Structures are given as C-alpha cells and as structure tokens.
Amino acid sequence: MAPIPSAHGAPFEVNEPKSGGEKSKKMHSQVVIIGSGPAGHTAAIYLARAELKPVLFEGLMANGFAPGGQLTTTTDVDNFPGFPDGVNGGEMMDKFRAQSERFGTTIITETIAKVDLSQRPFKYWREGEEEDTDFETADTIIIATGASAKRLNLPGEETYWQSGISACAVCDGAVPIFRNKPLAVIGGGDSAAEEATYLTKYGSHVYVLVRKGELRASKIMAKRLTSHPKVTVLWNTVATECQGDGDLLQSLAIKNVKTGETSTLDVNGLFYAIGHEPATALVREQVHTDADGYIVTVPGTAQTSIKGVFAAGDVQDKKYRQAITSAGSGCMAALEAERLISEEEAEDSEIPAEEKHVPSEALTGYL
Ligand SMILES: Cc1cc2nc3c(=O)[nH]c(=O)nc-3n(C[C@H](O)[C@H](O)[C@H](O)COP(=O)(O)OP(=O)(O)OC[C@H]3O[C@@H](n4cnc5c(N)ncnc54)[C@H](O)[C@@H]3O)c2cc1C
C-alpha cells in the first residue's frame, strides 16, 4: 500500500488495486458531497469550478427519492429565479446535474450507507460495501441528504399526490387547481397554522383538520388562524380517505374521533402540515442534531459540530425548505469547504486534535 498525504498532512494509504489487474475504485477525495438535490449540486458546481474535483454521491432511491431529490416528484416549479415561465422539477434537476458535470464533478449513482466522522480523513462506505475494510476517505464532507414530508398514507393518497395533495403550501398553493376552491390542511402546529393562513390567499375556504381539541401552535398563530373569516377548524377530526374522479382530488372522508361520526368534506386540495423527516440517520449519532433530528450548523454558516463536515439544504433547515434556500446553503458549504482546504494546504501542518470539534459555544443559541 502506498502512503499519500491527506490535505492536512496525515498519511493515508491508498487501497491496493484489486487482483487480476482490476483497479480498485476506492478513492480519497478532498471533498465528497452526499446528496443530489439543489444543495448538493450547487455545492458541486462551486467546488468543481474551484478545481477541487468534488465527488457527488447522488443516491439510488436514497430516502425514497430518485437522484435529483424532492423536486423530481413535482411538475411545475414557478418560484425558482431564472425560469420566468416555470420549469418542470425533474427537468430543472437534470440541468443542475448537467452543470455539475460540465465543470468536472464526478457523480456516482450510489447511496452512502455509513460514515465515520471520528477522525480525518473521514471514512465512508457505499451501500452494499459495508465491510470494515471497504471504506473510502475524504478530507471534507458536505451532507446534503435532504428531508421528506411526513404523510399519512391514507387510501387514495397515492392516486392524488400532486394532483390535489401536497405538503408545501408555499410551493403549490398558487397553482390553478386550488384557486377559489375549498382546501384542507391537516395538522395542529405552527406550520399548519402558517400554511392554512397562507392558503386563504388562494382558496375559497380553508378547513383545518385537528386530531385533538386544541392546537399546538403558538397562541398568536392560533389566534390568527381561528379568527380568520376564511378558516374553519374541525376539532377532533381526522381524514380517513382521499376521494376524486381518478385525476384530481375532490373530497375527503373524515371522522370525528370523539363521536365516531363520519362525513364527507368537499375539498379540491389537501395540504399535509404534520412535519418533515430530515435524512440524518447517517450522521445523527456523530454531529449535533436538534430535537427533530435536523443537523445544527453554526448560525450563518454551513459548519456542523465537526470541523470539515458541512451541511446544506433541507437536512439542516426546518424553516424555509425551498429549492432556492437549499441552493444558497449549498453554495455556502462549498465556499467554506474550499476555504478550509486551502487554509490547511497553506499551513501544511497537522491539525491539533482539540481543533477537530467546533466549540459547542459556537452552536449556542441554535440548539
Ligand atoms: C412535491 C414537492 C414540491 C416542491 N415544490 C417546490 C417548489 O415549487 N419550489 C421550491 O423552492 N421548493 C419546492 N419543494 C421543496 C424543495 O424540493 C426542497 O426544499 C429541496 O429539494 C431541498 O433540496 P436538498 O438539496 O436539501 O435535498 P433533496 O431535494 O431532498 O435531495 C436530497 C437527495 O439526496 C439523496 N440522498 C439522501 N441520502 C443519501 C445518501 N445516504 N447517499 C446518497 N444520496 C442520498 C436523496 O435521494 C435525494 O435525491 C418541493 C418539495 C416537494 C416534495
């Protein structure tokens, strides 16, 4: 095995070529990006243009999404700047991918199954190659694995998903099928209150289905919601089925969980506001995450609690969750990784162990 220096001087041994002259694909990279949504590809574009030869693992239906991420599951994206006539979500992500490749990003259609962030260079394992010795290494890692909206998996939900059912009022509220139509929101927290209030701009009326007899939303949000003339809160109520004409949602079967009474609610839109699940299983035990599992970054940066590990996109953002904000944080992660790599190259010395972890004071106020 031939020792080679990593970016910060620690020796690293390249894996031997496989027997029979076949070259091992085991790699050492200056920067590896895990995830292929707007955050991952934006990071890749910046890093490739900086000639850092980024390697991007785009996943193989990782977290339930095709390469390209959440936008591959939608049709029209109307709020991403630069597309005055809107753009199909899948087509937009094809363009992101092509731009990453144009500048030399190595894109690998595999899922990362495991990482070891305990020391640098960091180790990672591809899915299906998880033996201890199968690892590859990177000086810096950008985690851009995204998130997914929680769903109820009601009967009919799959048929009308994106044909009347959505999990993002800001993304989809303005589309014609919801204009001046009765809509429903499921959820009782701040997001539900915010989404329902937002939807009053477009819908003729908004019904909020709350399983309990009270809202979890803050008092001010709850008051704004319940006092809105276009909102009706249906307390102790759950949806049991999504119904329609085969093309578009037309109604919900609902049930009062206190009385057992069932009825039909005529609505042309259903918006889930029951939370999101950040794709952090890979790193949850290793970097600081908050109570909901989102990666915590130093405010105003993409830096996680481990030096050299950056997070971008929905995986660290429970507030905005938009393509443009994801792309913006991908850019930040890339610029920070690039700066760290060049500083370490300039220093050309070993990093003291105590500098490996970002001081927890830096994260204070954000946890
Ligand atoms: C139906 C729908 C419609 C939307 N519409 C809009 C809209 O109109 N406008 C807007 O701004 N936003 C919209 N959004 C939100 C937007 O899609 C997200 O904010 C954005 O995609 C988040 O980008 P991301 O880069 O963080 O990750 P994601 O888009 O979540 O992508 C992450 C990718 O990483 C991959 N991955 C995960 N784990 C691994 C792993 N271990 N190894 C390798 N790969 C992995 C996943 O497979 C996925 O492809 C919509 C979302 C949905 C679901």
> Residue 205: enclosing H or E segment and its boundaries?
strand 205-209
Q: Please report where in the chains the tokens 């390249």 appear, as a residue.
A: 14
Q: Are residues 136 and 254 in the same domain?
A: no
Q: Please report where in the chains the tokens 């001046």 appear, as a residue.
A: 180
Q: Are residues 157 and 141 in the same domain?
A: no
Q: Are residues 351 and 315 in the same domain?
A: yes
Range of the domain at 246: 151-272
Q: Are residues 126 and 79 in the same domain?
A: yes
And the tokens for 56?
A: 């991007």
Number of domains in the chain: 2
* Structural domain ending residue among the three candidates 251, 272, 293: 272
Is the model's pLDDT at 315 over the cut of 50? yes
State the Cα torsion 328-334-337-340 to the nearest 10°.
-90
**CB neighbourhood size of 34 (10 A):** 26
State the Cα torsion 94-161-207-273 to the nearest 10°.
-60
Instruction: State the chain's mean pLDDT as an integer.
Output: 90
Per the CB < 8 A criterion, the answer to whether 265 and 251 are in contact is yes
Q: How confident is the model at residue 25 (pLDDT cuts 50, 70, 90)?
A: low
Q: How confident is the model at residue 217 (pLDDT cuts 50, 70, 90)?
A: confident
**To test the ligand 1 pocket, which listed residue (77, 145, 329) has its Cβ within 8 A of the most ligand atoms?**
145
* Structural domain ending residue among the three candidates 272, 294, 309: 272
| Residue nearest atom 52 in ligand 1 by C-alpha distance | 70
Q: Are residues 159 and 212 in the same domain?
A: yes
Is the model's pLDDT at 292 over the cut of 50? yes
Is the model's pLDDT at 21 over the cut of 60? no
Residue 296 maps to which CATH number? 3.50.50.60
| Per annotation, catalytic residue among 171, 242, 314, 317 | 171
* Structural domain ending residue among the three candidates 223, 252, 272: 272
Q: Are residues 239 and 177 in the same domain?
A: yes
Of 83, 80, 55, nearest to 70 by C-alpha is 80
Q: Note if 168 is an active site residue.
A: yes
CA of 29 to the centre of ligand 1 (A): 24
CA of 331 to the centre of ligand 1 (A): 16
Please, what is the angle between helix 89-102 and helix 38-49, to 10°? 20
Q: How confident is the model at residue 12 (pLDDT cuts 50, 70, 90)?
A: very low
Per the CB < 8 A criterion, the answer to whether 310 and 141 are in contact is yes
CA of 167 to the centre of ligand 1 (A): 13
CA–CA distances in Å: residue 292 to residues 226, 281, 288, 367: 27, 12, 11, 11
- C-alpha 289/C-alpha 143 separation (Å) is 13
CA of 314 to the centre of ligand 1 (A): 7
pTM: predicted TM-score of the whole model, two decimal places: 0.85
Q: How confident is the model at residue 202 (pLDDT cuts 50, 70, 90)?
A: very high
Q: Are residues 294 and 249 in the same domain?
A: no
What is the pLDDT averaged over residues 340-351?
Answer: 81
CA of 70 to the centre of ligand 1 (A): 3
- C-alpha 111/C-alpha 61 separation (Å) is 8
Is the model's pLDDT at 356 over the cut of 50? yes
Q: Are residues 345 and 293 in the same domain?
A: yes
Q: How confident is the model at residue 348 (pLDDT cuts 50, 70, 90)?
A: low
| Residue nearest atom 3 in ligand 1 by C-alpha distance | 74
Q: Are residues 79 and 60 in the same domain?
A: yes
Q: Give residue ranges with CB within 6 A of ligand 1.
A: 34-40, 57-59, 62-63, 65, 67-71, 73-74, 77, 79-80, 111-112, 144-147, 149, 162, 168, 171, 279, 282, 313-315, 321-324, 326
| Per annotation, catalytic residue among 94, 168, 190, 331 | 168
Q: Are residues 116 and 158 in the same domain?
A: no
